[in-house]
Amino acid sequence: MELAVPVGKAAVRGSTPPTAHMAVRELPGVETMATVIHKGDLWDVGQTITSLYTWIGANGFMSSGPYRELHIFWRELDIEPSAICDIVLEMQVPVSRLDSHVA
């Protein structure tokens, strides 16, 4: 599992060098990405990600890279217990066309 935190280039230049537990690197861009925004209860995230992968397969795509998740409104350690039902996440899956992988 990897965890990412967006930082500006200036912050990276002045940062502490990476350790065995941390690395600083730029997340690679992808040509095509399937995404969905989940707004609602934390416990419904599983249904949303299932819907995303269902859409990918039903529309002639396949996953072509690691799943990405952006926490737009939700900080696990800075959240009121009542706010767990009001999160916003963007789920992203790099994709490519299935027919582009047929020999």
Each of the 103 residues of the chain gets a pLDDT tens digit; together they read 566 666 666 655 655 666 666 677 777 889 999 999 999 988 899 999 999 999 999 999 999 998 998 888 766 666 676 667 888 899 999 999 998 765 5
Q: Identify whether 56 is part of a domain.
A: yes
Total domains present in the chain: 1
Q: Identify whether 11 is part of a domain.
A: no
Q: Which domain holds residue 49?
A: 31-101
Question: Which pairs from 44-50 meet CB under 8 Å and 24+ separation?
Answer: 45/87, 45/89, 48/89, 48/91, 49/91
Q: Identify whether 8 is part of a domain.
A: no
